[in-house]
Amino acid sequence: MFLNKRLSIYKNKKVLITGHNGFVGSWLTASFLKLKSKVFGISLKNQNKAYRFIVNKKNSNLVEFIQDINEFEKLDSIIKKIKPDFIFHLAAQPIVKIGYEHPLNTFKTNILGTSNVLKSILKNKIKNSVIVTSDKVYLNKENKKFFNENSEIGGDDIYSASKACTEIITRSFYLSFKEKFNHLDTVRAGNIIGGGDFGTNRLLPDIFNSFHLKKSLNIRSPHSIRPWQNVLDVINAYLLLPVYQKKRLKKFDFWNVGPDKKESNIRVIDIIEN
């Protein structure tokens, strides 16, 4: 799985992952355990059924905290105690539909919760941090052009707006306290697929559930083209960011992670039919 020898920088290092027991967080946690890091996870009580299949909870290199990132004092005291070498911030309300149902909670966790993480990163002088957002942070002008990192930030629905705000507040924290940050990145991936995704209103879990439960499948935009990517490819990209941070001149940067333009841009309907 890990082709890059530079990932050995993580061996015996303390890595804190927020959202460690979610779909992407589970694979990231398992990856760091494989790289022999000391892994600390902060999440809400686990609701993802796949976590226990992906992560060996008995691994002595794993320490878990059930903690809401919206509670700054408690979050900060955990981070202060651990003093991690690396923080990967994934904890979020990540579902578009839930954003419509619970807008305030989505804004709270994705904006204020992230602000708490950033404040604690600053306060505890954490050297390397990666803030996970989404490809939904961009303003969708419906002009079928590909987004690059300098495309305009927008976000029409609540979830997308909350993630666009995550980008803005991370940049603002950096610009406001530049000299206090060492390395900080935001990373924008989307349409992540792979084992262990039980998210509601996501295409592949919905397809499997409709087969399994013999229920009809409701698809909102069957002709939309999406850049699907495997969770392990996305994780490889996340892992490489801090590896190359040291070689970069910029202390703060933001990155898209996506598949090759030609290969993985597939219509929703083609995935269902195949």
Ligand X SMILES: NC(=O)c1ccc[n+]([C@@H]2O[C@H](COP(=O)([O-])OP(=O)(O)OC[C@H]3O[C@@H](n4cnc5c(N)ncnc54)[C@H](O)[C@@H]3O)[C@@H](O)[C@H]2O)c1
Residues that bind ligand X (CB under 6 A): 18-19, 21-25, 43-44, 48, 68-70, 90-94, 109, 113, 132, 134, 189-192, 199
Residue 88 CB, nearest approach to ligand X (Å): 10
Q: In 3D, which of 94, 32, 95, 21 has the Cα closest to residue 61?
A: 32
Residue 43 CB, nearest approach to ligand X (Å): 4
Nearest residue by C-beta to ligand X? 22
Residue 151 CB, nearest approach to ligand X (Å): 16
Burial class of 178 by CB neighbour count within 10 A (0 to 12, 13 to 18, 19+): exposed
The DSSP element (H or E) to which 254 belongs, if any, is strand 252-257
Give 73 or 179: the residue with its C-beta nearer to ligand X.
Answer: 73
Residue 172 and residue 168: Cα distance in Å, rounded? 6
Residue 108 CB, nearest approach to ligand X (Å): 8
Tokens coding 24: 């992407």
- Backbone angles phi and psi of 187, in degrees to 5: -135, 130
Give 54 or 92: the residue with its C-beta nearer to ligand X.
Answer: 92
Residue 105 CB, nearest approach to ligand X (Å): 8
Phi-psi region of 81 (alpha: psi -120 to 50; beta: other; left: phi over 0): alpha
Residue 84 CB, nearest approach to ligand X (Å): 16
Give 26 or 178: the residue with its C-beta nearer to ligand X.
Answer: 26
Give 134 or 245: the residue with its C-beta nearer to ligand X.
Answer: 134
Give 80 or 180: the residue with its C-beta nearer to ligand X.
Answer: 80
- Backbone angles phi and psi of 168, in degrees to 5: -65, -45
Q: Give 132's Cβ-side CA count (13 Å radius).
A: 23
DSSP reduced 3-state for 142: coil
Give 18 or 256: the residue with its C-beta nearer to ligand X.
Answer: 18
